[in-house]
Amino acid sequence: MINILYIQGIPFWRNIIVLRWTAQILSATVVLAIVSFFFINVAREIDDRDIPFGFSFLDRAAQIPIGESIIDYSPANSYLYGILVALLNTVKAAGLGVLIATILGIMVGVARLSSNWLLNKIALAYIEVFRNVPLLVQLLFWFMVVLSLPNVREGYVLLDALYINNSGLYLPWVTPQGGFWAWFIATAVGIAIAATVGKRLQRRENETGQSSYPVLAGLSIAVSISIISIMLFSPLSIQVPEPQGRFGRIAGGANLSGSFTALLVGLVIYTSSFIAEIVRAGIQSVNRGQTEASQSLGLSGIMTMRHVVFPQALRVIIPPMISQYLNLTKNSSLAAAIGYPDLVSVATTMTQTAPAVSLIAMVMAAYLTMSLFYSLVGNLYNRYTRIAGTGA
């Protein structure tokens, strides 16, 4: 009996492993109890109040308009299809927002550390202004800016290809043709070749210390192969927007609606101000002795940033930056305030003719899925850096 109470000579009530497992089991039990209590009460209230609930409505015709969509949509399509259209609208805004905000945030963050007084202060003003003004206010401001632009007939025209007016932004676009897949395969092969060449040049640069420009060489190879395959297969057709009819309506190319443009600008500017501070903090977290040592070896400022400072700063930058990506995605739900048909806006409209609880539950599940995706990316990166740091 005494041996049972002891594990490796330590009483089980003082053994750290036993205590950790006990704490985890108790915590899981409490969480499951709270969640179960919540859902049981929700189900009881739904039943007592005869609140419509269920998902049988998803295959019925939605009979609601959606202002813009990536894929074709008509009110005759089902609720489920309409939700998919709205989800793709959200993904489009979040995806473009993340890409542009990252580029802009890095540029502003580096400018914040510039020795040029004017550039430094402009970056500081950018960060402090846009980071401290509520996003909803910024979205309304940019939407008013778009609405104040000239109408379609009197809008701005750049190079006879780019049209800017109060309806949004019209720009040239490409559409796939018959040789698209041949071009796609050739481009994929070119990217693989470029990656291989870049790795070899990077290895040679690390071994010899001579600049081999692996990134520039890789990009040159990939772009060259892609351009050659375009000339051979003609996989893309460029559509240029141009006015049509007596009212000057613009057709052709790609159209970014006024509400989408305002949403994208607001999300990018707001999020990039936070990313800029993350980048600045990450770079400054690297010991200054690292920079001085690299300069004593003859590395230029750009080479020092690329090979010494930035690789070390990424461990500090990436985790909070991924959190900003998640915030940008969730903040896109404010699109309803400026009329962009995102997931929240469309689902709210659908609640007039379909069970509200079911629709909101689907919206919550969609945002939870996107949040878990960002968490997965962050965990994979943390695992990669931990393995790289241990040399495993």
The pLDDT assigned to 225 comes to 84
Helices (H), the chain: 2-5, 16-48, 79-112, 117-132, 135-147, 180-208, 214-233, 258-284, 288-296, 301-304, 310-331, 343-350, 356-390
The pLDDT assigned to 5 comes to 59
Structure token digits, residue 231: 């000339």
The pLDDT assigned to 390 comes to 47
pLDDT along the chain (392 residues), means of 10: 56 71 86 82 65 70 81 84 89 91 91 86 91 91 87 74 78 72 82 86 75 78 83 71 69 77 92 92 81 74 73 81 90 87 87 81 88 83 64 45
The pLDDT assigned to 313 comes to 79
| CB contact burial 274-294 (16+ within 10 A = b; e otherwise) | bbbbbbbebbeebeeeebeeb
The pLDDT assigned to 391 comes to 46
DSSP 300-329: -HHHHIIIIIHHHHHHHHHHHHHHHHHHHH
The pLDDT assigned to 105 comes to 92
Which strands, in side-by-side order, build the sheet including 156-158? 156-158, 162-165, 168-171, 254-257
CA–CA gap between residue 134 and residue 65 (Å, rounded): 30
Residue 202: which residues within 8 A CB-CB, separation 6 or more?
A: 212, 214
The pLDDT assigned to 267 comes to 93
The pLDDT assigned to 392 comes to 44
Residue 255: which residues within 8 A CB-CB, separation 6 or more?
A: 167, 168, 169, 170, 241
CA–CA gap between residue 181 and residue 236 (Å, rounded): 10
The pLDDT assigned to 6 comes to 57
